[in-house]
Structure 1
Amino acid sequence: MSKDFKREDAHKHKRVSSGSWRSPNGTHSDIRREVKGAAPKPKAGRRTDKYVRGKHPSGYDEVLVNRPVELEDLDSETEAARIAGTVGGKKKAQILEKADELELKVLNRGDTDE
């Protein structure tokens, strides 16, 4: 959830993450009643901008890659590769090598020497 929306009473309890939004249910809840000065509540119309929506926080479009051959179709300016979770270590090393050749960004490099 966005940084704008804090979970109610998250600052009071260590076990409650402020990033995990839950709709407030309390009878006297200022957030539920949307009292002036209370924390904001997510509503329709508070969507992200169209040009940012669905992108990785780095600004690239994510493309899932399973094989080194699939890297050749990527545009290094706008797209970044994300190696699929089912890819093994040997093939992941091949994909990373090919990405370095083509100067592509890999979002989940892992513990590699860089």
Structure 2
Amino acid sequence: MSRPRRELPQPLKRLLKLRLLLKRKKPEFVRIDQWRYKRIEDSGWRNTRSIDNKIRRKWKGWPKPVEVGYRKPAAVRGLHPSGFVEVLVHNVEELAKLDPKTHAIRIGRTVGLRKRIEIVKRAREMGFYVLNPGKRVEEALKKELNTAQTGQ
């Protein structure tokens, strides 16, 4: 099944491309000594405080510190790469509050197969872009479509 495409305005399209380029240039921000100690290996960025810290002093050859200049353009910050605003949906009623032209839906992970099928059906009727329909849902919808066609 084809997914609805959002016609993006030219400035937004340009900013999405720019965001992608900036993401490629952004370094991995690592905590000081995370390469040395296993206990802090995956703890994420912590701000440096020591007066002798090489990362804080931005020495050549040391990891880059987090700085405001690495932010993405404000107009596209938080958008899905397709240009839609992602919205988490848990039931069919939540679709009524959304706009198919600006929102893409992501079905919550705790939603079961039966309700997921209902959400995907209704979302496609309304013209939403469903980010995670799931393989089993697609198979169920195809099977349902085939039985409807052979029954006629």
Structure 1 length as normaliser, TM-score?
Answer: 0.64
Q: Count residues with an aligned counterpart.
A: 111
The aligned counterpart of 2:29 is 6
Cα distance per residue 1:23-51 (max 9 Å; x no partner): 45677643232114533211245432111
The farther-off stretch of 4-13 and 79-88 is 4-13
Whether the 8 Å CA contact 1:68–1:95 is kept in 2: the answer is yes
The SS at the match of 2:28 is coil
Rg larger in structure: 2
Which whole-Å CA distance do the structure 2 matches of 1:52 and 1:46 have between them? Answer: 14
Whether the 8 Å CA contact 1:96–1:109 is kept in 2: the answer is yes
Q: CA deviation at 1:112?
A: 3.1
**Percent identity over paired residues:** 38
Work out whether 1:70 is the aligned partner of 2:103: no
Unaligned runs of 5+ in 1: none
Whether the 8 Å CA contact 1:56–1:62 is kept in 2: the answer is yes
Whether the 8 Å CA contact 1:5–1:41 is kept in 2: the answer is no
Q: Identify which of 46, 53, 65 aligns with 1:41.
A: 65
Unaligned runs of 5+ in 2: 1-22, 139-152
Which whole-Å CA distance do the structure 2 matches of 1:113 and 1:66 have between them? Answer: 15
Q: Considering only aligned residues, what root-mean-square deviation do their CA atoms show, in Å?
A: 3.3
Q: Identify which of 77, 92, 100 aligns with 2:124.
A: 100
Bigger share in helix: 2
Structure 2 length as normaliser, TM-score?
Answer: 0.52
Which whole-Å CA distance do the structure 1 matches of 2:37 and 2:76 have between them? Answer: 33
